[in-house]
């Protein structure tokens, strides 16, 4: 079982000390955690056997990453990446002050929708006013990170999950709002396409406290099923 590791050392569990246990993963412990989780689930083991250990998809825990995540909402990853590249070409390093200095027309030229202009501006204003301290999120429990980020217009659970998983490397997240993840779990588990969210969440509960690791394996399966030649690549932003 992967449950309560109270008898194990803090270092062995990759848990940061503090009032709440914060489980994290990194490039060093990720393969071990994949193997550990696969011992409890034959379908996840099969992914490892077929495709190997997934990439450790990573992003910097900063303002630019939150803007990128906002841009990824409800569009393809390629479209969001193109918008980020246009924004960088326009202002260089993506910071709150530089983003706010752009007009709406200039942001539209960077492929921001009208709605995402509002979201990005609200995020930038929150950071500059001190309402949101992105740096302070690194040591905060997952629930606190979620609460703080969801105060920002346009940031919901999916966006928070992506930030927790890829920027803060929190080990126990499962973004049910991610279509590729949901499709992959149905494929891997042989579920009906009509399987509802409640049933999927019950399956994911069995992977606590390493649901992020399961999600990475499922994403890796989704990618490799559709592009067998895809090479492992560390994503850094």
Examine residue 164 and state whether it is found in any structural domain, yes or no.
no
- Kindly give, in sequence order, each residue whose CB lies less than 8 Å from that of residue 90, ignoring residues fewer than 6 positions away: 102, 106, 109, 110
Residue pLDDT, tens place only, 57-85 = 999 999 999 999 999 999 999 999 999 99
For the chain, the domain total comes to: 2
Task: Indicate the range of 10-24, 34-48, 171-185, 205-219 predicted with least confidence.
Answer: 10-24
Q: Provide the pLDDT for residue 233.
A: 45
CATH number of the domain residue 142 falls in: 1.10.340.30
Residue pLDDT, tens place only, 83-97 = 999 999 999 999 999
Distance (Å) of CA 126 to CA 65, 71, 96, 169: 15, 18, 9, 23
CA atoms of 76 and 201, how far apart (whole Å): 24
- Provide the 3-class DSSP secondary structure of residue 16: strand
Tokens 């034959």 locate to 42
Shared domain for 77 and 142, answered yes or no, is: yes
| C-beta atoms surrounding 178 within 10 Å | 18
Per-residue pLDDT, averaged over 40-65, amounts to 97
Q: Confidence class of residue 228 from pLDDT cuts 50, 70 and 90? A: confident
Count CA atoms closer than 13 A to 201's CA, side-chain side: 6
Comparing C-alpha atoms, which of 129, 132, 130, 128 is closest to residue 146?
Answer: 132
Shared domain for 53 and 69, answered yes or no, is: no
CA atoms of 228 and 230, how far apart (whole Å): 6
Q: Provide the pLDDT for residue 231.
A: 54
Shared domain for 26 and 85, answered yes or no, is: no
Ranges of H-type helices in the chain: 10-13, 30-38, 42-51, 63-72, 77-91, 96-100, 104-109, 114-129, 142-149, 157-162, 179-189, 197-205, 211-226
Comparing C-alpha atoms, which of 123, 112, 110, 133 is closest to residue 155?
Answer: 123
pTM equals 0.87
Q: Confidence class of residue 35 from pLDDT cuts 50, 70 and 90? A: very high
Q: Which domain-ending residue is among 123, 155, 187? A: 155
CATH number of the domain residue 198 falls in: 1.10.1670.40
Examine residue 185 and state whether it is found in any structural domain, yes or no.
yes
Shared domain for 82 and 51, answered yes or no, is: no
Examine residue 8 and state whether it is found in any structural domain, yes or no.
no
Q: What residue numbers bound the domain in which 131 lies?
A: 63-155
Q: Is the peptide bond before 209 cis (omega within 30 degrees of 0)?
A: yes
Residue pLDDT, tens place only, 161-219 = 999 999 999 999 999 999 999 999 999 999 999 999 999 999 999 999 999 999 999 99
- Specify the DSSP class assigned to residue 233: -
């Amino acid at each position: 079982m992967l449950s309560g590791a109270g008898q194990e050392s803090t270092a062995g569990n990759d848990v940061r000390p503090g009032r709440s246990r914060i489980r994290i993963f990194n490039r060093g412990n990720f393969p071990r955690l994949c193997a550990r989780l696969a011992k409890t689930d034959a379908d996840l083991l099969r992914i490892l056997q077929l495709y190997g250990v997934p990439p450790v998809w990573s992003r910097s825990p900063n303002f630019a990453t939150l803007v990128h995540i906002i841009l990824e909402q409800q569009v393809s990853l390629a479209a969001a990446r193109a918008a980020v590249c246009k924004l960088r070409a326009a202002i260089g390093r993506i910071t709150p002050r530089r983003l706010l200095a752009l007009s709406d027309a200039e942001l539209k030229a960077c492929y921001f929708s009208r709605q995402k202009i509002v979201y990005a501006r609200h995020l930038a204003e929150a950071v500059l006013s001190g309402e949101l301290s992105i740096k302070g999120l690194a040591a905060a429990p997952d629930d606190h990170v979620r609460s703080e980020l969801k105060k920002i217009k346009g940031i919901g659970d999916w966006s928070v999950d992506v930030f927790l998983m890829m920027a803060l490397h929190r080990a126990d997240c499962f973004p049910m709002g991610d279509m590729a993840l949901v499709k992959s779990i149905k494929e891997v588990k042989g579920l009906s396409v009509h399987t509802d969210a409640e049933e999927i969440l019950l399956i994911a509960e069995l992977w606590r406290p390493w649901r992020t690791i399961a999600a990475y394996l499922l994403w890796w399966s989704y990618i490799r099923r559709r592009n067998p030649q895809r090479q492992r690549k560390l994503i850094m932003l």
